[in-house]
Amino acid sequence: MTEKHEFDLQNFLPYLLNQAAEESSLAFQQVYKDRYGMLRTEWRVLFHLGIYGRMTAKEIGQRSKMHKTKISRAVARLGERRFLTREQDDRDRRLEYLELTNLGLTAYRDLLGVAQTYDAKLSAGLSAEEDAVLRRALRKLAGFDAD
């Protein structure tokens, strides 16, 4: 009596990805939340500016695929807390260049270290080959290749 549709929820990619994402985000989330009171969108914006440097909200949106309202709110909060400065472009006053302050840079560097350590810890459970294949496959699924 074999099961006809042998469908395991734990093998359905969207579900599996979600569970893995949530599980693997927990510990890092704890850090940026406890240490800086940040939300997910906020550390993401922080990292974009930390890694790629001064840019506009629009550019962050293009890279991250976050919706512009999320970015707008994250930028507003990071601004209030003095993690970044906002400077209007003279030539096109719709544009605002965002840049980390020293405070923001310090937070970024701190969290960067945490992220690197944490990423390594996650990888540690996987073989080198698994790790490489995993990241490549995820990049495909996330649409990071055809960008």
Contact residues for DNA, defined by CB under 7 A: 39-41, 56-58, 61, 67-73, 75-76, 91-96
The answer to whether residue 9 forms part of the interface with a second copy (CB under 8 A) is: yes
Nearer to DNA, 36 or 108 (CB): 36
122: contact with a second copy by CB under 8 A: yes
Quick one: how many helices (H) and strands (E) in the chain?
A: 6, 3
State the Cα–Cα distance between residues 9 and 11, nearest whole angstrom.
Answer: 5
User: Beta 96-100 vs 84-88: how paired, if at all?
Assistant: antiparallel
Least gap, CB of 90 to a second copy (angstroms) = 29
Q: How far is the CB of 108 from a second copy (least distance, A)?
A: 10
The reply on whether position 76 binds a second copy by CB under 8 A is no
* Residue 105 to residue 107: CA distance in whole angstroms: 5
Q: How far is the CB of 91 from a second copy (least distance, A)?
A: 29
Whole-number Cα distances in Å, 139 to 15, 84, 104, 119: 17, 29, 28, 16
Question: Angle at Cα 49 formed by Cα 32 and Cα 67, nearest 5°?
Answer: 80
Q: Which of 2, 4, 5, 69 binds a second copy (CB under 8 A)?
A: 5
Which does residue 41 touch among a second copy, DNA, none (CB within 5 to 8 A, set by kind)?
A: DNA
Among residues 53 and 113, whose Cβ is nearest to DNA? 53
